[in-house]
Structure 1
Amino acid sequence: MKFSKLFILFIVIIASNKLGAQENSSKAIYPVLGKNDTIRVTATNDNGYMIPWFPLKEVVIIGVRTFKSAADQAAFNRLRYNVLKVMPYALYAKRRYEQLERDLAVTTDKKTQKRLVKQCDDEIKKMFNTEIKELTITQGQILTKLINREVGRTTYDIVKETKGGFAAFSYQLIARVVGHNLKSTYSATEDRDIETIIVNSGYYQ
Structure 2
Amino acid sequence: MKFYRLFFLSIVMITAGSAKAQTSGGGVIYPVLGKNDTIRVAGTNDNGVMIPWISLQEVVISATRLFKSPEDRAAYNRLRYNVMKVMPYALFAKRRYEQLEKDLALATDKKSQKILVKQCDQEIKDMFNREIKELTISQGQILTKLIDREVGRTTYEIVKETKGGVTAFLYQSVARVVGHNLKSKYNPSEERDIEAIILSSGFYQ
- Aligned partner of residue 27 in structure 1, secondary structure: helix
Q: Which residue of 2 aligns with 1:117?
A: 117
Quote the offset at 1:65 in angstroms: 1.1
**Residues 168-195 of structure 1: per-residue CA shift (max 9 Å, x gap):** 0000000000000000000111001000
TM-score (norm: length of structure 2): 0.79
Residue among 26, 30, 33 paired with 2:21: 26
- Is the alpha carbon distance of 1:148 and 1:45 closer, same or farther for their aligned partners in structure 2, counting shifts above 3 Å? closer
Task: Report matched runs for 1:70-149 at 5 Å.
Answer: 70-149=70-149
Which residue is equivalent to 1:60?
60
Query: How big is each residue's C-alpha offset from its partner over 1:131-181, in whole Å with a ceiling of 9 and x where there is no partner?
Result: 000000000000000000000000000000000000000000000000000
Q: Does structure 2 retain, via aligned residues, the 8 Å contact 1:83–1:142? A: yes
SS at match of 2:61: coil
Aligned equivalents of 1:44, 1:116: Cα separation in 2: 43
* Percent of aligned positions that are identical: 67
- What is the CA–CA distance in structure 1 between the aligned matches of 2:198 and 2:133, rounded to whole Å? 23
Are the aligned partners of 2:60 and 2:200 in contact in 1 as well (CA < 8 Å)? no
Residue identity in the other structure for 2:90: A
Tell me the equivalent position of 1:40. Answer: 39
C-alpha distance in structure 1 between counterparts of 2:45 and 2:151, whole Å = 43
Match of 2:170, as an amino acid?
S
Uncovered stretches (5+) of structure 2, i.e. residues with no partner: 1-13, 24-30
Superposed displacement of residue 54, structure 1:
3.4
Aligned CA distance change for structure 1 residues 164 and 67 (closer, same or farther; 3 Å): same
Q: Which runs of 5+ in 1 are unaligned?
A: 1-18
Which secondary structure does the structure 2 equivalent of 1:188 belong to?
coil
1:61 CA displacement:
1.4
C-alpha RMSD of matched pairs (Å): 2.7
- Distance in 2 between residues matched to 1:129 and 1:178, nearest whole Å: 16
State how far apart, in whole Å, the 2-side matches of 1:50 and 1:176 are.
59
How big is each residue's C-alpha offset from its partner over 1:14-52, in whole Å with a ceiling of 9 and x where there is no partner?
Answer: xxxxx9xx578533373655xxx4651547899xx9976
3-state DSSP of counterpart to 2:22: coil
Amino acid at match of 1:30: V
Q: Quick one: structure 1 residues 45 and 148, their matched pair in 2 at CA, closer, same or farther if it must change by over 3 Å?
A: closer
The TM-score with structure 1 as length reference comes to 0.79
